[in-house]
Structure 1
């Protein structure tokens, strides 16, 4: 209850998703994705080869950044905040977000809800935060080794075998995404935009998985946790943070991930209402917990890197 006598159970009923904002943000992700690839494609036609080639890495970083930003809206779909009707929400999530990421709204929801129920314990289904920010772990992220390790872990836990329908839909989603990426690369190559194709491959295969790995670690890992601790054996415990609300934080931690603490307090609330949510909790005894959890992405990354070096 807030200091003016309002109960959260009553206030939350006023926080309906603002779907127009959600779709505006998704549209911007697609726009900026296209800008990254097309910039290299155009440069390769008008600049000397060496100059256009030098643009590939920064353009891949830009494109990978927006791939990661778009990816987080799959999480918003899992919490049914893309449309009023659940069935419509799930279809929109499948075709406008998960199309690029080899999953479906329903499959991700199944795994993600267990994460909410078991954050920090040994039944958590999203455990990338068990990794420290060491050079080895970042190399694993860039080369795709970490993605393979995650998939193998899920297979060992039987998460992909609990329901045959979910298994088949997941396989179809993976094949669909592979076909989409292959079509994008093939289209760029056929159009003569070889550097554009290379930009897309580097963004998808290296930059995106690196950013996704770093973000998850920063959101949930204890800042003082040593690289020597095996959290598959030791209990990590739940950790959530509030990051900044500037342009970089809002886009790196899009769909409200920059205010992840609020999401874990009430997963049903759309990120489009986090400002009101934070204002409400600032008038409750939980205000102290919010202040204690505040940091910036840069500050958290620096602290975790230093801890990894000490380890």
Structure 2
């Protein structure tokens, strides 16, 4: 198994760049559709399309966040400065994050998994996620609405958000989006495009998608001395998870905790091989294939 993991821990920067490019393309296409409907048809046309366009854009932004997570483990490239530069400029700054600060908190989560100083455990208990009802879409919606407001500042605390990161977020969007669009469309229309393509999705759609994804990752209660990563960590690997909530194989979370050096494009294969070769994993691993059920 050690040889398999060593082989699976080889990075492929080109594949990660393709994934990043795909996420940005999805955001651009969804934003362009929203803008054209708003500008050329009517505001209500953009509003009617919003459930689709916001889901697409929010999912793509979630994809960028998942790749920030990858970069926090140096899984884009082992060249650390290049890894962090790519992650910040192409993934983190656009979604109000910074990989170095994210890494600080996330490494505590890995080192102290399930203990009192695990930041994910702290947030889970504060939000009472052990009582999160997934029995139906209505129950899930009610639970998410009740928790989303306290969840957002908790996320900002977890990723170490500060004024410097906010400034980089603003600078990135001004230079990468608003200025080029202002040349093409004029300053006011460029601002409208940004609000539709990025502003609304990043502050409203993305947090909802992220919350549903994060709420499904770990069970920290009841406190059990015999608990393991297998019995505390859910692998969310259904189609809806892979497409919307856990892009870039983020749902293979138990494998990630076991072997954090394995990059996103190898997690599915390692999960499958573990299930075939490791009886404990095959028996104890928690698998979830739907959003509105416990398994």
CA distance in 1, matches of 2:51, 2:174: 20
SS at match of 1:147: helix
Is the CA contact 1:68–1:212 (under 8 Å) kept in the aligned structure 2?
yes
Change (3 A) 1:87 1:125: same
State the match for 2:151 in structure 1: 146
Q: Map 1:249-288; keep pairs closer than 5 Å.
A: 249-281=242-274, 282-288=276-282
State the match for 1:201 in structure 2: 199
Provide structure 2 residue ranges, at least 5 long, that are not aligned to the other structure: 134-140
CA distance in 1, matches of 2:293, 2:173: 34
Higher relative contact order (CA 8 A, sep 6+): 1
SS at match of 1:26: helix
CA shift, 1:172, in A, is: 1.8
SS at match of 2:235: coil
Change (3 A) 1:275 1:58: closer
SS at match of 1:258: coil
Structure 1 outlier segments of 4+, above 3 Å? 133-137, 149-152, 178-189, 192-196, 234-238, 245-248, 301-304
1:65-98 per-position Cα deviation (integer Å, ceiling 9, x unaligned): 2111221100010010112311111111111111
Is the CA contact 2:96–2:169 (under 8 Å) kept in the aligned structure 1?
yes
Change (3 A) 1:260 1:112: same
Is the CA contact 2:76–2:263 (under 8 Å) kept in the aligned structure 1?
no
Provide structure 1 residue ranges, at least 5 long, that are not aligned to the other structure: 1-7, 161-166, 226-230, 305-311
State the match for 1:89 in structure 2: 83
Is the CA contact 1:56–1:199 (under 8 Å) kept in the aligned structure 2?
no
CA shift, 1:235, in A, is: 7.5
1:41-84 per-position Cα deviation (integer Å, ceiling 9, x unaligned): 11223324432332234322321121112211000100101123
Does residue 118 (structure 1) correspond to residue 112 (structure 2)? The answer is: yes
Query: What TM-score, normalized to structure 2?
Result: 0.78
CA distance in 2, matches of 1:89, 1:256: 19
Query: What TM-score, normalized to structure 1?
Result: 0.74
CA distance in 2, matches of 1:31, 1:192: 18
State the match for 1:12 in structure 2: 5
Q: Map 1:1-311; keep pairs closer than 5 Å.
A: 8-15=1-8, 16-127=10-121, 128-130=123-125, 131=127, 132=129, 133=132, 138-139=144-145, 142=148, 144-151=149-156, 170-181=162-173, 184=177, 190-191=188-189, 194=192, 197-198=195-196, 200-221=198-219, 239-244=232-237, 246=239, 249-281=242-274, 282-289=276-283, 292-298=285-291, 301-303=292-294
1:89-131 per-position Cα deviation (integer Å, ceiling 9, x unaligned): 1111111111123332221111101101122221102234333
CA distance in 2, matches of 1:150, 1:99: 15
State the match for 1:4 in structure 2: none
Is the CA contact 1:220–1:240 (under 8 Å) kept in the aligned structure 2?
yes
Between 20-29 and 190-199, report the one with greater CA deviation. 190-199
State the match for 1:309 in structure 2: none
CA shift, 1:213, in A, is: 1.3
